[in-house]
Structure 1
Amino acid sequence: MQSRPSLELGQHQQLALTPQLQQAIRLLNCSSQELEQELAQALEDNPMLERVEAADEAAAQAEQLDRWWSQPASQSGSDDIPESGRGQNLEEFLLQQLHATRATARDRDLVFALIAALDRHGYLDGTLDELAGALPEEWAVDPDELATALRLLQSFDPPGVGARGLAECLALQIGRLADGAEDPAILACARRLTGHLDLLAAGKFSRLCDELACGREQLDRAHALILRLEPRPGRAWDAADIHYVVPDVLLHRVRGRWQASINPALAPRLRVNQTYVDCLAQAAEADALHEQVRQARTLIRSLGQRQQTILRVAQAIAERQHAFLEDGPRALRPLVLRDIAHELDLHESTISRATRQKYAQTPWGIYEMKRFFGTAVQTRDGADTSAMAVQDLIKDILADEPAGRPLSDSRIAELLAERGVPIARRTVAKYREAMGVPTAGLRKARAASL
């Protein structure tokens, strides 16, 4: 059969996203920090765009609101940083100690290379052989020479820095306690215990007593000593461990009704530079600059659409979750993206982007807006409750459990059923893990070591 060329007419539909729509979608998906980076880059690239400077009084008010609404999302803070290390990062703190030693120039170069290989937790990133291979060939580094430099680094503060793993980190810190008031037998037991951290985490104390040839009392004291050590020596210098959450939306009651508003501290205000626009009107050829003006106006419109969408979604959530705003997390009702999307005549993906990494200030604290969504859990009386409300019940049950007799997942399921929320044991385990609560065995082991 011989093929012949032919012409055919056909119709098909295709959805094409314009650059303006792509920009609006990207901005809606941004968190407040990501949005600030986007705007900073836009202000740098486009001279036609400028930020509206607020009046001094308004700026002071926004700063005050920012301080009041800001909430740390981690318990670690700068108060743990040693006085000599304030204002420094970990590398600078270690280099300061290196310059105070009497090491030779070559040893200093090797220690400097090791410091550069530390991760943000203070651990050595890689083996000595890998580090030696990464150094210049003309250095002709001997493995024993690099090991000596590592021992010098590990003698610095904070204790445990330069370790190649958790076990070595804890052992280094225990070695610093040898000259203190600790019982030498307990120190020796704790040092051996660092080689069996897997058994310790599993709470297998009987097997540990056999492995270490020690009594239970001695093991418990060694365990308590390890719990006082710092598993991440660089924690105090790690700015990444400190997270501050500033709410994008404020939920407040107005005349008996809950209203949503955009946090003025996070509301970016941009405008087109009118001076440049006036100059363009007199210019004969300025196509490129006219394009930048158009881009600036498009960005300003996209920002307005972003705030309007977030505000509409937040208001709809406030109306659906007014019981939560009145009575707390236990009153949170089941809600899915489809409910809000149908109410606002938007796509579910738009609701997802509008709630991603967006936070709301409520009477019960700052919550990510996605937490207001959750599947339904049916109670015994036929009503629906949310997974977050069930987690709050589990939290109350665990708060009342005996210290030496932690409740199993099965027992927690029974207590929930008595409160009218019958769920399976595996569901309890899923919620417990989501809450960051260890198993009953580990909770019992921790209680026994205190």
Structure 2
Amino acid sequence: MKQSLELRVSQQLTMTPQLQQAIRLLQLPAAELNLEIREALESNVMLEAEEEAESAFPNDETAAVDPPAIDPSETTLGSNAADASRLGEDMPIDERWEDPAAGATSFSAPDPARRDSLLDNQAGPEASLRDHLHWQVEMSSLSDRDRQIAEAVIDALDDQGHLTESSEELREALADDEEVELDDIQAVIAVIQHMDPVGVAARDAREALRIQLDALPGDTPCRDVARLAIAEDLSLLGPGQHATLRRRLGIDETVLAGVLSLIQQLDPHPGSGFGETRTEYVIPDCLVHRINGRWEVEVNPDASPRIRVNDYYASLVRRGDTSADNSLLRQHLQEARWLIKSLQSRSDTLQKVAECIVERQQGFLEHGEEAMQPLVLRDVATAIDMHESTVSRITSRKYMRTPQGTLEFKHFFSSHVPTADGGECSATAIRARIRRLVAAEDPARPLSDSRLTEILREEGINVARRTVAKYREVMGIASSTDRKRLV
């Protein structure tokens, strides 16, 4: 093979550390961004937090009530050179301190005295199942020997609260006490099974349900029939098996509905609700207000601290000085100004995207999900002149507080279905219509998927029956056959 030299001209984007930082900050949710900024405040002497600023909207006409937090979903992140370069433009060290980029970010923060980690404010771990049972044993009137047996029983429980060892194995574990009999162990197990939660120390789900049924008052409707149902195959309690269960028990649909309703109130795994947990809090990145008849968007002032360069430490930087201390100060100064610039760019991008979403979804803000308009990332990217991947980053795990509740940005995006008049209807609006129709149906004659499809077409929405079935299943709505059976 003959060797030769060849000259080629090509373009390539170099991902500098500053550029990587700007892109990473784009996709951080409010809680993680807050922690990132506080770590920077602790590690960089050039940064300091400003005082709390007042909200930009003093005359808010709305009072949104936040629902429980939604579990955040992940999104696939793309990349775009043009938007990334916009975020990572170089900033010389000799820039004047009066420059806006060298000052504070446009979004404000809570009082610096509240600069403790957000995670420190979360609820502490709850008591474990074993701790909860040990406490009840200590408060009980059991004898010392019975308490020793109870300790062995509690130690033999799994995470679901089921007993994993037989009475014989428990007796062997208590071999040092020759007076322990199997009847004594069974008696202590029965006591624990009626502690809180009732049904703990059962050997399986069927026994746990039976114990909970036995603990109910004798006049509880359908209790005796529910015991018979549990004695049958538990799989018959699932969807699609109710006809078989009704036939085996010899009962009608009304009694079956009462039985299923009663069993659904029980817990086959009574210990699963215990354990070490952490409460995840959602901090809205944007706030939506209605002011003078217009919907306005504000980047949440409590989402992250407002930071700036410390003028005193910056004044210590001597130009031309090559000492190690001066080089370190210059490095901290450059990092501080890059962080401030990246935060400013993130805030501006977040504001643009939120304003575009609010403008497109005003109907949803005023009338609810049935007024949701179809919207995809490409629509927002085109409107704000950014790449689709940049919009994907800024909307990932971000939340917006609205009069309809605190919702993830992704909630406002949905595909579309053509309407009879040539328009489009969002999938979210179709699901809301299906939910409304099912809620208002005659329980004795529930609407089938075909009938739901016909009603939607009468409203001008051309949707296939299989699409209706898919939306219904996504919302956890049973089929018309099962809905009728459960009435």
Q: Answer yes or no: is 1:261 the counterpart of 2:259.
A: no
The alignment partner of 2:295 has SS state of strand
Distance (whole Å) between structure 1 residues aligned to residue 322 and residue 193 of structure 2 = 66
Aligned partners of 1:202 and 1:441 also within 8 Å? no
Q: Which residue identity lines up with residue 368 of structure 1 in the other structure?
A: E
Aligned partners of 1:186 and 1:218 also within 8 Å? no
Give the 3 Å change call, closer, same or farther, for CA 194–341 of structure 1 in structure 2. Answer: farther
Match of 2:227 among 190, 205, 216: 190
Q: List gaps (5 residues or longer) in structure 1.
A: 75-85
Q: Answer yes or no: is 1:393 the counterpart of 2:437.
A: no
Q: List gaps (5 residues or longer) in structure 2.
A: 71-123, 177-181
Q: Deviation digits for residues 32-87 of structure 1, max 9, x if unmatched?
A: 233234334444554554443427xx59x99x99x96533248xxxxxxxxxxx99
Q: Which residue of 1 aligns with 2:372?
A: 332
Distance (whole Å) between structure 2 residues aligned to residue 107 and residue 50 of structure 1 = 60
Give the 3 Å change call, closer, same or farther, for CA 16–254 of structure 1 in structure 2. Answer: same
> Residue 157 of structure 1: CA displacement?
0.8
Quick check: which has more Rg, 1 or 2? Answer: 2
- Aligned-pair identity (%): 39
TM-score of the two chains, using structure 2 as the length reference: 0.69
Q: Answer yes or no: is 1:299 the counterpart of 2:339.
A: yes
Deviates most, 208-217 or 400-409? 208-217
Q: Which residue of 1 aligns with 2:284?
A: 247
Distance (whole Å) between structure 2 residues aligned to residue 127 and residue 269 of structure 1 = 55
Aligned partners of 2:161 and 2:271 also within 8 Å? no
Aligned partners of 2:162 and 2:204 also within 8 Å? no
> Residue 428 of structure 1: CA displacement?
0.6
Distance (whole Å) between structure 1 residues aligned to residue 392 and residue 384 of structure 2 = 13
Q: Which residue identity lines up with residue 416 of structure 2 in the other structure?
A: A
Q: Which residue of 2 aligns with 1:159?
A: 198
The alignment partner of 1:260 has SS state of strand
Query: Larger RCO: Structure 1 or Structure 2 (Cα < 8 Å, ≥ 6 residues apart)?
Result: 2
Aligned partners of 1:379 and 1:385 also within 8 Å? yes
Q: Which residue of 2 aligns with 1:52?
A: 50
Q: Which residue of 1 aligns with 2:213?
A: 174
> Residue 402 of structure 1: CA displacement?
1.1
TM-score of the two chains, using structure 1 as the length reference: 0.74
Q: Which residue identity lines up with residue 21 of structure 1 in the other structure?
A: L
Distance (whole Å) between structure 2 residues aligned to residue 87 and residue 431 of structure 1 = 37
Deviates most, 332-341 or 238-247? 238-247
> Residue 312 of structure 1: CA displacement?
0.4
Q: Answer yes or no: is 1:359 the counterpart of 2:355.
A: no
Q: Answer yes or no: is 1:225 the counterpart of 2:262.
A: yes
Higher helix share: 1
Give the 3 Å change call, closer, same or farther, for CA 433–53 of structure 1 in structure 2. Answer: farther
> Residue 415 of structure 1: CA displacement?
1.0
Give the 3 Å change call, closer, same or farther, for CA 298–216 of structure 1 in structure 2. Answer: same
Give the 3 Å change call, closer, same or farther, for CA 225–318 of structure 1 in structure 2. Answer: closer
Distance (whole Å) between structure 2 residues aligned to residue 365 and residue 184 of structure 1 = 39
Distance (whole Å) between structure 2 residues aligned to residue 154 and residue 90 of structure 1 = 17
Q: Deviation digits for residues 233-278 of structure 1, max 9, x if unmatched?
A: 4687689696654432223344554322112222432334555556
Match of 2:324 among 285, 295, 298: 285
The alignment partner of 1:367 has SS state of strand
Deviates most, 149-158 or 17-26? 149-158
Aligned partners of 1:359 and 1:366 also within 8 Å? yes
Q: Which residue identity lines up with residue 443 of structure 2 in the other structure?
A: A
Distance (whole Å) between structure 2 residues aligned to residue 195 and residue 276 of structure 1 = 77
Give the 3 Å change call, closer, same or farther, for CA 124–50 of structure 1 in structure 2. Answer: farther
Q: Deviation digits for residues 18-37 of structure 1, max 9, x if unmatched?
A: 22222222222122233234
For 1:42-441, list aligned pairs within 5 A: 42-46=40-44, 48-54=46-52, 69-73=65-69, 88-91=126-129, 92-100=131-139, 102=142, 107=149, 110=152, 113-114=155-156, 118=159, 123-124=160-161, 154-161=193-200, 166-177=205-216, 180-182=217-219, 186-187=223-224, 189-190=226-227, 192-193=229-230, 196-212=233-249, 219-230=256-267, 233=270, 245-273=282-310, 277=314, 285-286=324-325, 287-288=327-328, 290-441=330-481
The alignment partner of 1:360 has SS state of strand
Distance (whole Å) between structure 1 residues aligned to residue 225 and residue 397 of structure 2 = 48
Give the 3 Å change call, closer, same or farther, for CA 440–188 of structure 1 in structure 2. Answer: closer
